Structure 1
């Protein structure tokens, strides 16, 4: 393997570790809601704590990446990741410490549920910092290493590696949680980060690019960046809400509007989106390099919203096509090792008519988002490379995402508690559609009627 490929694959390994850890927690959120006895609103804060931390650190991390050595910044972020996932393994102990501190310092008696939930939100915030830092640095370095005409394709490959990590993370997390609980999962995650640190240290050269001014100032007024943010600010609400509540919808109890599927069943549903996204992105990234990236942003974003609103109808869809009310996938006891002799084991737990339609719809969400994501990233990379601040360009991309990703889950948690879980998907889908329409209007206004196919 030549030196250039080793550089890319060391970055892909870092993307893998980050995606592996992130996807694991995405899958486990509904089970933490149950285990910590968190309210519906607190369940929304489990997601908001993550995204709020991301919002706060975008600018300083992007500035540090442009001003200093991106390799060193990335190594620091990956090292902190280890601390975050060790903390997840000990969240109840941290919650106990929070309760003791509140009692001794402020005379407050916190319930175990509230203290543990608060600790979980804090650790999620730390995870948000490291996911943002890793994403910014790896994408910036991939964008710098890739040739201009192959940038979307290279970014698509990087994203595909992340999605592969997400698939493995969800399957491994779902299986381990279903069989042996939370804690062993984090041993696997920490090991993956240790490997990524070694890869970056050994194979990636020092980053010698430097930006001494304030690239944020120039890029913030860039017409192409403004055009992209008109879409991205709204789309952030859609993706954050829909991706998070698909897991919640699949995993929480029927009394809370969910389907109450077991860990591996929830993992299969979430993996469907990651798998289709992973398989499609290198191809759709190459198409967007050839035929115009803005068209892919518009079409992928609008289609995402239309698919999302169908998610709450999956029980009715399954019933309409004749799927049974309950069924199970039974494996022989000799294979499972978990049942007594002569018995079988229900691998995915009890399933209902919604399972297969939900699996298909979430896979379709991955397909349509694969048209949007590499094209959008390449457009931001193009502007950053031209203006001398590629990390700042990706920083603006992240920063524009944050208001929607912070407020969206809070809004969704409130909507869930007031109007039911189905309304969450209607609102999320609506934000994607309005974002795509706004993008088309602003694109035409700034760049002309032919911009959808030319830009």
Structure 2
């Protein structure tokens, strides 16, 4: 394996570790809601804690990446990730500490579920900072290493590795939690980060590119960046809400508007989106390199919103098709459970297969959008003086929607039912795509949708 390939794969390994940990938490969020006895509003804050931290750290991390050695910044955030996942394994102990501090310093008597939920939100914030730093640095370094004409393809490969990690993380979390609890799962995550740190340390050379001044200022007025952000600001609401609430919809009880499926069933539904996205991205990345990237952003974004609208109809679709209510996946008594065996999937309903298909379609349509969008940001950053700053703007524009979206969704869930979350989320994706087409035509002409 040549030196250049080892450099790419050290970055892919870092994205693998980050995706593995992030996906594990995506599956376990409904479990934490149950275990910590969190309210619907607190469930929304479980998502917001992560996204709010991501918003705060974007600018300083992007500046550090352009001004200093991106390799060192990446190693630092990978180390921070290890701290976060060790804390997840001990979140209830941290909750006890939070309750003690609140009582001694402020005279507040927090209930156990409030203290534990507050601790979980804090650890999610730590995770958010680490995830953002890892994403910014790995994508920036991939963008710098790749040739211009192969940039979307290289980014698509990096994303596919992340999706592979997500698939493994979801299956492992959903399958093992029922038998071993949280701690062994987080041990696997920490080991994956240790391997990622070793790969970056050994194979990735020091980053010698330096960008002085404030690259954010120039890029903020770049017409192509403005065009992309007109779409991305709205799309952030859609993706954050839909991805998060698919897991919640599948995993929480019927009393809360969900389906109450077991953790492994939640994993299978989420894996469907990751698997199709992983398989499609290298191919769609090559297509966007050849045929123009803006068309892929518009079509993929708009289609995502339309498919998201179908999620609440999955139970009705399954019932109309006469699909079975149970799908048995039995563990023999020797391996777990007792009596005749233990059903890993638990009790399912006719919605299970339609949800697999719908979430798989969400992965397909998003695979058209993501590598094209990332390559456009990388192009502008490389040309205008700060690739980390360009990806930083990309992240920063995402954050208002990803912070406010879950809060809005938690409120919609509590007031109008969980179905409305998907209707509103889907609408944001459609309006974002339409806005993108209008702004693109205004700034770059009618042919820009197929030329840019």
State TM-score, norm by structure 1.
0.98
Point out 4+ residue stretches in structure 1 off by more than 4 angstroms: none
Matched, 1:386 2:390: no
Counterpart pick for 2:449 among 446, 449, 452: 452
State the match for 1:329 in structure 2: 328
Asked whether the 8 Å contact 2:331–2:343 carries over to 1, the reply is no
Q: How does 1:240-389 map to 2 (within 5 A)?
A: 240-324=240-324, 326-331=325-330, 333=332, 337-340=335-338, 343-389=340-386
What secondary structure, in the 3-state scheme, does the structure 2 residue paired with 1:430 have?
Answer: helix
- Rounded to whole Å, the distance in 2 between the matches of 1:333 and 1:98 is 42
What secondary structure, in the 3-state scheme, does the structure 1 residue paired with 2:342 have?
Answer: strand
Q: How does 1:398-437 map to 2 (within 5 A)?
A: 398-437=395-434
- Rounded to whole Å, the distance in 1 between the matches of 2:184 and 2:210 is 41
Deviation at 1:177? 1.1
- Rounded to whole Å, the distance in 2 between the matches of 1:44 and 1:294 is 32
Deviation at 1:339? 3.7
State the match for 1:155 in structure 2: 155
Deviation at 1:332? 5.7
Deviation at 1:408? 0.1
What secondary structure, in the 3-state scheme, does the structure 1 residue paired with 2:270 have?
Answer: helix
Q: What is the CA RMSD across the aligned residues, in angstroms?
A: 0.8
Q: How does 1:6-405 map to 2 (within 5 A)?
A: 6-324=6-324, 326-331=325-330, 333=332, 337-340=335-338, 343-405=340-402
Asked whether the 8 Å contact 2:51–2:399 carries over to 1, the reply is yes
- Rounded to whole Å, the distance in 2 between the matches of 1:340 and 1:422 is 37
State TM-score, norm by structure 2.
0.99
Deviates more, 1:345-354 or 1:219-228: 345-354
Asked whether the 8 Å contact 1:307–1:361 carries over to 2, the reply is yes
Q: Tell me: CA distance 1:330–1:174, structure 2 relative to 1, closer, same or farther (3 Å).
A: closer
Asked whether the 8 Å contact 2:175–2:344 carries over to 1, the reply is no
The alignment of Structure 1 onto Structure 2 pairs a total of residues equal to 452
- Rounded to whole Å, the distance in 2 between the matches of 1:14 and 1:267 is 22
Where structure 2 has 5 or more consecutive residues not aligned to the other structure, the ranges are none
Deviation at 1:340? 3.6
- Rounded to whole Å, the distance in 1 between the matches of 2:282 and 2:32 is 34
Deviation at 1:328? 3.3
Asked whether the 8 Å contact 1:330–1:344 carries over to 2, the reply is no
Deviations 1:96-147 (A, max 9, x none): 0000001001111000000000000000000000000000000000000000
What secondary structure, in the 3-state scheme, does the structure 1 residue paired with 2:235 have?
Answer: helix
- Rounded to whole Å, the distance in 1 between the matches of 2:83 and 2:198 is 17
